[in-house]
Structure 1
């Protein structure tokens, strides 16, 4: 059976449904990927796993102002790029669900604000009409 996330499995990650988010940062000459999990309170399982990927160095020739010079480049690990792509794929549905839920909450808030504004405007219009009647 072929896994949907072979790179993550290769890294030792098996509980895909528990992953909540990830972060990626650079430390010196390495990239650090940290994966966070949803865990119930009191769980003895770790809340995150940290993976460090060394940056490969390569020297390439570059032409700079008509002279040959050597420029040192550092590149990210292909394994890291694959892992991040799989994490994005894994977390995308959760992000879409959260976004639609946020949209639904925003819509409900706007409707509540609109109803409140209508009530305030109705009260103000009645007050103005009453004041006009008193002036006659």
Structure 2
């Protein structure tokens, strides 16, 4: 029934609790969270990265100017449709833009800090 999710290696799609989708550079990052099993401290999750599709769109026909735009990968849209069937997400009335920007900023800080620590560790190995 959930052919795209099983193609990702997810054996029990009904155990999916929720998912998140965010964009990093030229990739969409899908993170799927499973229901916490008895005896587990944390619920399991898996992460998938999909490159965004790049298209050239005609901006001005008279001057023949094109603009490069990116859009979500077609396979990812099919997977999201299946995830929506399982999780039945509630429609958000209105997303607080300020809160979303702050959340994105905090996430970016964590990613950058982690990458800096990784690079510093690599530098230490060179000494």
**Which of 50, 54, 59 is 1:57 aligned to?**
54
CA contact (8 A) 2:19 2:32 kept: yes
TM-fit CA distance, 1:40: 2.4
Indicate the larger mover: 36-45 or 11-20: 36-45
1:1-136 alignment runs, 5 A limit: 4-43=1-40, 47-63=44-60, 66-92=62-88
Greater per-residue helix proportion: 1
Deviations for 1:66-115, whole angstroms, at most 9, x for unmatched residues?
Answer: 422011011211110000000001122x86xxxxxxxxxxxxxxxxxxxx
Q: What TM-score does the superposition give when structure 2 sets the normalisation length?
A: 0.62
SS at match of 1:79: helix
TM-fit CA distance, 1:41: 4.8
Deviations for 1:1-34, whole angstroms, at most 9, x for unmatched residues?
Answer: xxx1111111111111211100000001100000
- Runs of 4+ aligned residues of structure 1 deviating over 6 Å after TM superposition are none
Q: Distance in 2 between matches of 1:45 and 1:5?
A: 25
For the aligned residue pairs, the C-alpha RMSD in angstroms reads 2.3
Q: Distance in 1 between matches of 2:57 and 2:15?
A: 42
Give 5+ residue unaligned stretches, structure 1.
96-136
- Count residues in correspondence: 90
Which structure's CA Rg is the greater one? 1
Q: What TM-score does the superposition give when structure 1 sets the normalisation length?
A: 0.58
Q: Distance in 2 between matches of 1:17 and 1:88?
A: 12
